[in-house]
Amino acid sequence: MLTWYFISSHLTLFLASLPSSTGAKMSNEVDAGDYGPMKRLSTMFSTFQDKFHRDRSDRDLTLPQPTAPALAVTSFFEYLVVVSLGKKRGQGTYEPQITYQFPKLANMELSQREEEEKSLKAILLFCFPEGVNWAPLTEYPSETFSFVLTEVDGSRRNGYCRRLLPHGKGARAPEAYCIISRVACFGLFSKIFDEVEKRRQISMAMIYPFMQSLREAPFPAPGNTVKIKSFIPESGTEIISLTRPLDSWLEHVDFRTLFHCLTNEEVLKVFASTVLERRIIFMAEELSTLSQVLHAVAALLYPFTWQHTFISIVPSVLIDVVMAPTPYLLGVQRSKLDDVTDQSDMLIVDLTEGAEKTFITCIGDESTILPEKLQEELLQALCCRRDNSTSEELNKVVSEAFLSFFVKTVGHFSSHVKGSSGRQPGVFQKKSFCKASEHKASQHFVKRFIQTQMFDIFIQEVERRPTQEGFFHKKIAEYQESKKKEKAKRGERACGVNIGIFRQNKQLICHMLLKRTGIDQQ
């Protein structure tokens, strides 16, 4: 099982195994003496990582099967919950409680219901990761963020959460709407939340018919639109259009927040650290900033996938995860700064606007990891984006810039998979692959990159299925074709120069011969 799945699964199981006296007790109630399991889990990370690398070095032609079968997505979501903060009796603290759920757990089979009850405890924790110290508010800006729940079999579900101040007068505690779905499409669910929030202001009962219509609607293919009819008192029947982005691998991503928080040069340093699978912590106070930036950074790796710990928002009770010795991408609220700055050999990125120092902690070689020429090309490509560009336009500019980087550094991989025929898997030739790099600087980077788990998993899939078609392969073919044309043009130019030189020399030779024979050229 992949390290990323292993860690995420155990985090989810840890959340689900927390004690509960009310059926949905908030995990933050565990006192300091109960934090031991997370520290033992950190030790487990190291042990598993050592074992993984030993197994990996012994691998010959036996390739692992996929961690979990691909699940066909047929509906928008599995369920919606509304989480409210209720004041604990005799105490000045609050605990989250599920006040609404659709569909009800009672409608599920017993085995499924038991699993979902465990997931609900984790959901409570992620909806309010700060802890139990809340006070009634009169103003609270709405924010939307996301998290990932990973099952033991490696399958993943996305949690989308919108927190806001419920409709009413006077000071009151915020509440959260959370949708659990197999679909990774942040923009789509942000629009769904807009509709849910609109109906919640009228009545909780108004949410049900809309979510029922959404649940019955077929999930659209990339680029397609589904239309849902919904009735609202005083407004009548509305038609809500939900369009899925054409590039499905970018539908969970919006790069605007990343480039609002960081400069182009800073983004490249973060990318370089991520490519080498280092420990990286992002800090911000807004949960929406953390989740959007972490998902954007992970998307820069396409066609590769981050294989290690990924927690876009680390709940307070799980802060000890920063001690894990294995690679991770973590989002931590800035109020927890003192809990993470005693760590070394990592990159800590402060996303706070106007921060005195963007990189609170760094290793120091971040600006030299990527080949210099390709760094310059990346910066030039990123400078082409406009300040007023739409989310789709920005996603296109950014994704193509970083995809081009991988095309130029490792796009020749298929030529170095030998011996594949029929059911027999191929074998990747590392040495010849590294030597075939276009430039010496690229060769140095490639030697480091092929040691990462993300490249290893990618190449295992190539060994298993050498003939593949996809967006990355399409871009590789386009790049190779452009190189052929460029080479042909250089050949034509060289040929033209040689012909010109020959003509000049021919005239000179004729002139000398005529002169030697005493014949006047005229």
- Report the chain's terminal Cα–Cα distance, integer Å: 88
pLDDT score, position 73: 66
Helix (H) or strand (E) holding 228: strand 225-232
Tell me the C-alpha distance between 243 and 220, whole Å. 8
pLDDT score, position 421: 63
Q: Which position has the higher pLDDT, 323 or 387?
A: 323
Q: How confident is the model over 499-509, as pLDDT tens digits?
A: 556 566 666 66
Q: Which position has the higher pLDDT, 358 or 119?
A: 358
Q: Which residues of 233-250 are buried (b: 16+ CB within 10 A; e: fewer)?
A: eeeeeeebebebbeeebb
Place of tokens 């809500």: 240
Q: Which residues pair with 225 in a beta bridge?
A: 243
Neighbouring CB atoms inside 10 A of 288's CB total 20
Phi and psi, residue 421, nearest 5°: -155, 125
Identify the band that residue 94 occupies on the pLDDT scale cut at 50, 70 and 90. Answer: confident
Domains of the chain listed by start with CATH number = 14-43+66-221 (3.30.450.200), 255-405 (3.40.50.11500)
Q: Please compute the mean of the pLDDT values over residues 53-78 and round it to a whole number.
A: 49
Q: How confident is the model over 195-247, as pLDDT tens digits?
A: 988 888 888 888 889 999 999 998 888 888 999 998 888 788 889 999 887 77
Q: Which position has the higher pLDDT, 354 or 74?
A: 354
Q: Please compute the mean of the pLDDT values over residues 185-192 and round it to a whole number.
A: 90
Q: Please compute the mean of the pLDDT values over residues 21-32 and round it to a whole number.
A: 32
Q: How confident is the model over 344-376, as pLDDT tens digits?
A: 789 999 999 988 899 999 999 999 999 999 999
pLDDT score, position 27: 30
- Residues, the chain: 522
Overall pTM > 0.85? no
Q: How confident is the model over 145-156, as pLDDT tens digits?
A: 999 887 777 778
Residues 6+ away with beta carbon under 8 Å from 315: 27, 28, 125, 126, 129
pLDDT score, position 106: 72
Tell me the C-alpha distance between 113 and 105, whole Å. 6
Identify the band that residue 481 occupies on the pLDDT scale cut at 50, 70 and 90. Answer: confident
Q: Please compute the mean of the pLDDT values over residues 24-40 and round it to a whole number.
A: 35
